[in-house]
Chains A and B, each alone.
Chain A
């Protein structure tokens, strides 16, 4: 089995380590491990495109959690906007919906992993851990369906982050900045 699959299997076993009296340590490690399973799956898929196998592990070190989350957030926004503008069905739409579900699963899993590893105020329960692992597990299956699609491969490349902007180049807008702008704009004057 590949390393990401091993991690996912380990997450399942950790979550089920003490079925009668679940321990916080095993639930937290299960949540964290499931995230790392998806993290390493996506990185291994990205680096598999590198022609020299002996350099793939080195290349994998270039990927980081923050840029991968930002790329996933952008991808979800782009797909939402595209689907809104084109309600028709078809194979292309199906691929987009699958890709969105992988990107969403990644964002959710990353936040939960952070909470599991660092937020000691939060109490984890077996259902929380199980729901999290099920969502990662489904992301694995969904990724397998779309992994050879051009949009899926393009998504992997965006993990490396946006290009450096030239000093006078305008910042690209995204849904979050547009929403912030909208909130800060003064509304119409009140009518009497």
Chain B
């Protein structure tokens, strides 16, 4: 895993939520290993941080690869 960006907000029902954007290394985001790594990350956060139990906010997770994130971070030419 490369990094996690965490944002507080509301989910689609208006309930308070915390959104985790998890940036995975390119090797971890390939093929069969993807589900395993995403599971490990979300379970580690949900069970150790306990956002729902301790903060009353539902955790949501999204995953990108490092190269995808780098591409999105590049400024676009108009």
Our verdict on whether A and B bind, yes or no, reads: yes
Which residues of A are interface residues toward B (Cβ below 8 A)? Answer: 66, 69, 73, 76-77, 80, 104, 107-108, 110-112, 114-115, 118, 123, 125-128, 130-131, 134-135, 138, 175-180, 183
With A125-B68, A176-B15 known as contacts, the answer to whether A108 contacts B60 (CB < 8 A) is yes
Assess the A110–B12 pair: CB atoms within 8 A. Answer: yes
Chain B residues whose CB sits within 8 angstroms of the CB of A179 once the complex forms? 52-56
- In B46-78, the 8 Å CB interface with A consists of 46, 52-58, 60-65, 68, 72
A73-B53 contact given A66-B13, A125-B68, A126-B68, CB 8 Å threshold: no
Given contacts A76-B52, A107-B58, A179-B53, contact A127 B63 (CB under 8 A): yes
Which B residues lie at the A interface, using CB under 8 A?
Answer: 11-13, 15, 17, 24, 29, 34-35, 38, 42, 46, 52-58, 60-65, 68, 72
The contact sample of 8 A-B pairs, CB cut-off 8 A, is A123-B72, A125-B72, A127-B63, A127-B68, A128-B62, A131-B38, A134-B38, A176-B58
Is there contact, CB below 8 Å, between A134 and B52? no
Is B58 touching A131 in the complex (CB atoms < 8 A)?
A: no
Cα distance A138–B32 when bound, in Å? Answer: 12
Complex CA gap A130/B13 in Å reads 25
Q: Are A125's CB and B12's CB within 8 A? A: no
Sort A-B residue pairs by CB-CB distance and give the 10 closest, nearest first: A179-B56, A114-B12, A125-B68, A134-B35, A131-B63, A176-B56, A127-B29, A127-B65, A180-B56, A131-B38
Report the bound CA distance from A60 to B71 in whole Å.
Answer: 42
Q: Which residues of B contact A178 (CB under 8 A)?
A: 56
Which chain A positions have C-beta within 8 A of B35? 131, 134-135, 138
User: In the docked arrangement, what's the CA distance between A73 and B15, Å?
Assistant: 12
Q: Which residues of B contact A127 (CB under 8 A)?
A: 24, 29, 34, 63-65, 68
Are A111 and B60 in touch, CB under 8 angstroms? yes
CB distance from B49 to the nearest CB of A (A): 13
A131 & B12 in contact (Cβ 8 Å cutoff) = no
Closest to A181 in B: B56
Q: With a CB–CB cut-off of 8 A, which chain A residues contact B55?
A: 179, 183
A80-B53, A104-B46, A127-B24 given; 8 more Cβ-contact pairs under 8 Å:
A111-B11, A127-B63, A127-B65, A134-B35, A175-B52, A179-B55, A179-B56, A183-B56
Query: Is the beta-carbon distance between A77 and B52 smaller than 8 angstroms?
Result: yes
